[in-house]
Structure 1
């Protein structure tokens, strides 16, 4: 019995027994404590905990789940997997122990011909909680199982709770005896390999007041409402009903494993007597591929994308582990384009939405493989060489210590080749080598500190540090950026392509060192000044200014005319408009920061900034987006500070004095003992800062926030224009409002109401169009009935509906099936192609299904012709593709298949 059929029977059985079928929640679930849904009962927790009133008394589901806590163990045994599906049935104040046991026994032992699973009751062994005489008696007296097959177990095995005070209760687990080939006889207490658990019935009846451990808790009394929570692993019962040993060999997983084996020329299980228990590397790699490809398909389908943290990192890790496993099996080409469609083919029977979304899913997966292949190509050889050296080094010491990969090698793999540290740890461990993780972490810290220095070096023409040290030895730069915009100076050094030179000619680019300068060197988030250096024979345009070593200011210049030589007397002139706008932006950053903290509180601390003439950007620690009202309030507070013409002053003091004074220091920055404190409006804004500023806040001019966004976990970003740039921004917005007002012929203040009115009219028109289209479909359905033809004793109504969308096609198909009735076997197949995307929907009536005609089978054939895939239930199925010109051929394929 295929897994999709087991799933279908589960839902059908419980629906017939009064349960509401609840669709699976997405793997990404709104629970701050979970990366993914990891148990079938997770979506039911609010009802079990009494946080919400359940909308039904009986419910059933097949819930998608992912567990990643032991991802390293996947493939090493036949038990570990990441994605799985949990069948569950739930009762909220309705049936209890007897009902749950009756339902479980009925589904398990009812013959397959009658819709059950057809398991022989003589090989089923229930367990109950040691003190649960009621459950014991139900199994013995009501179901009729001999006492010798009913096992009492303690709190570790047969009592359920969440690990915190709240609901709990005894459980009854159902085990199946797989026979003497799997171990010793005697029941679950003797051997849980031979006796495998397939179903757990939790009788939620107790209120727990304290939970100290799994077996140690206090019960304060009975729950006001008793509930039932049961779980049956779909993959586990599939292995039983399909006569295979483990989850890797069921129909939804094994085809990927088999495809991987075929691609790599590997035979699964050839190195041991039993593939399921084999720990041979080849078998482990094949199981990793099978599990991770399916899990990745399901995760991407539910909206996860590869990333460097959280859910994205879990997905990235699984995709990369699968690709690497194929490499280790000797397959060097792209693997996912061969493997992912195989997994889709098996999973779409239960999750047809995967087929429709496969173009997006595959694009994400294949791009991640391409990126990782580049990483592997570069890094694996390096790692292997380093591992070999580590082993040789350990051997030279007589083997007294375990071989260890130096932290420097692990860091080089991460920094240069993009190898995540966990991958290095895993690959090294496979070869019996440890990794110096402390050394790796130390180098990571040093790397972050070097990043700023490296950036400065690049901006300084890639000159060697020794060049700047030599020039610094000639004397420190007399830096006058706070005092003036121009000064006379002398050229003390010139650098071109990283080397000292005596002169720079017209059209060349290089670095100029002066004995005195008024140019601001980039620092503290403020970019460098621009301006002109005038020489005795020409002019140089200054386009960047840096401090490559302490005390030395270096100007990167383009020689516009003439030349410059060492010893020349020059005039250094900062562009005054540039400096004014830069001061406005930097002071504006301080004002926005103070306004932000006034509105949100002191925890909203700046974590980074960037400002240039007319524009500022401020990053701050915050865990949620700001509302429109909050952004407006921050903007208003900032502009009130501008309007109040607050004094802006600077003072020098020791760092301890500054901290005592309440001055804010930017996290991650380093400061000298003497620091410069910028104060705006007294204590309202005090920050350590080396930037240039206006003299009074009114000189900032207009300030308008233009954006607020997330730039990382727990970090938000505000952006704003100041001065003339703010006025230009507002002028553009005013022009846009005027244009829109003119188009809809209202005054600007009436514009929102007018737009809302137009939107409402559009929605009304869309609803009317939908109503008319539905009427048209209903009328069309009556006309189409005469098109039905006889194909091998089955009425087939095949029709191309043109540019109808999927919902409309589905509505038409179900209407046509209803009109054809159940008097004779009938099949309805209709295609549509809205926006160039073909879709086909097929429905069958009862008599047709009695003859073995299944809508899902026919859809797969038709969707294949359309260049896509599909699936669904025997009575109704849907598929799609990419070739709208093939709809006629798809309908012909349905007819041929029906005839065959």
Structure 2
């Protein structure tokens, strides 16, 4: 049975049982605890935590997941994967243990004709938590599993929580017996290689307290509503139903391995374990990389981008070590898209973008490999020069961590150079890095810790946002929070958070900054609203300063938006949609959104693109945007189902966790249609002029445009016009001739600077030649040196010193040159010392001299025995420095 069919049978089974199908969320969600979605229940966390009310009582999904903690283990064993699909069914206060167990059992054991997987019931072993008599009884008496095939296990194996205070509960896992060829008898307790877990049923019935690990926390009591969270590993079930030993031999990964074998000329499964590891790395990482890029991740140097970059580079490395010397990434990513798009169609629609990003990273890493090879050669030469045969762990770690050079490539090249590598030292440094990263990840696990103060409001239900229809609303104060604690009242000067039952003030979201405004009462209380944020995406938190009067919990108030602020904010947000539409028209659909920010009069928009905008493209984007403004397109907003919105062509931002019902903002019909929860103008003419003010790079494959709108755009253009008029007046030419005139002046200035530099060099050479005539002898060594004309930098002094040294190369000689560079009270004093072969034979080293004389000019320096340089700040010390040099040489 093919993996896509296994996936569809799961969904069909639970849809038939009354579950709502929920499409897989993006691998990127707005969760402070997670780099990527790593479990099927993650998109449902707000429901389990009580932060949001679920729109259904039972749901089912097949969620894309990525886990990268064991990335270095991928390929070494066949059990580690970075990407996997977790099928799950969920109940929010609806059914509980008996139905959850029955649903799982029937799907696993029903015949193929009845929609099941047709697994032999005799091969299935359930486990339950130590004291979960209820679950054991269901398995034994209701399902009919013999008692000897039901095993009880402790907190570590059969009790689940999110790792933070909140819902928790016992588990019941289902294991499949692969037979005596895979290990000993005795169930999961005896051998988890023979008995592999394929399904985990979590009975969410309790609340846990703080604590670390899987066992170090307290069970505080029962949940108000019992929930079900289950997960079935699609890939593991595919192994069983396809009759293969591991996921790498299933229908979605084996074709990638076969392609790798074809492209490298090496064979998989031919008895070379190291080769097999590389094949598995290619298959696993290429698939994960394609899925990540499809969900909006781009290669970078930190966070998600770093993980993607590492995955892609491990593919390139593995292909190289298998013998391929040509680019292969395009072939792998295209094959991944072919195999995975039946379940994830967005891969096919984004094919060009995904392939371009992956191929671009391959090309970039090829350059890194070239640079790393040079750095390795330097490290290897230094190792041999020190008469050692082992490259230090520090060198290997620097190559790996700073330059992205893989350790196994370092090992291979070291062997070719006749060296070994201190792998223990390298491993120690890597372990220290992982320990720091783990500590950082633990420190980040505070995303829900501060929510407890707002739990009452979250349980009450979402804030009624009235800001789409009105700017002033009557409201009631539900609570006041100051310094992290509830308070009953607040007086002038206090800063606090106010929770209202309803509000017209927009909370920061979707790139739009929060509204500012006021909260007042009829008897003179006035609060100044400086920011509005959300708790649990549903409760508005008004950050305020009390200006007048005393506010108290329960007060009836008037919440009002600053109308000028809101007008500017709507201009900025609608302008962002206009610029996005114009970008897509100019660059094509691959120019997808990567982030945005808009505030009154200003917008910035990040988009996916591998190269800068040309001047003509910038002009075209500006013209399209302003043509849409002039067209005075109507702006319509409406709510509809997510599927319906996407079928209409509405653009969704990857990484956003949209609900079933979405808000669509349509500007001018097909011109712009996006899913958006922000505030907007009524018609495009209200945006005012759009002026692009900048375009730049913000990361690998991501560009940023910035623009002014409305009056800010007018003021910017007015300022530019005044500047141009001033230049025209100064240059005494019409405005349209200013660019040409400025270019002429710049050319003349550059030519003049070159001539000045030429004259300075001639003067310096003449002065330097005179130094030989004025040279003195100290002991048996000639000393050529002194102060040269001002303005010669360190590079110029090096050139002159080398030239002078060449003229006295037949004897023991030292050349020492000083200059002064820069204006003001503290000019720089560069200096250079060079020695001849005969001087070095006497033990006179330029690097030693520089260290000795640097202090006389208020500086320091260093270098090699033949040439060294430094810089100081006190030209008055040059004579003393030369005197000290003569003393040093005289002693030789």
Looking at both structures, which has the greater relative contact order when contacts are Cα pairs under 8 Å and sequence separation is at least 6? 2
Tell me the TM-score normalized by structure 1: 0.49
Q: TM-score, normalised by structure 2?
A: 0.50
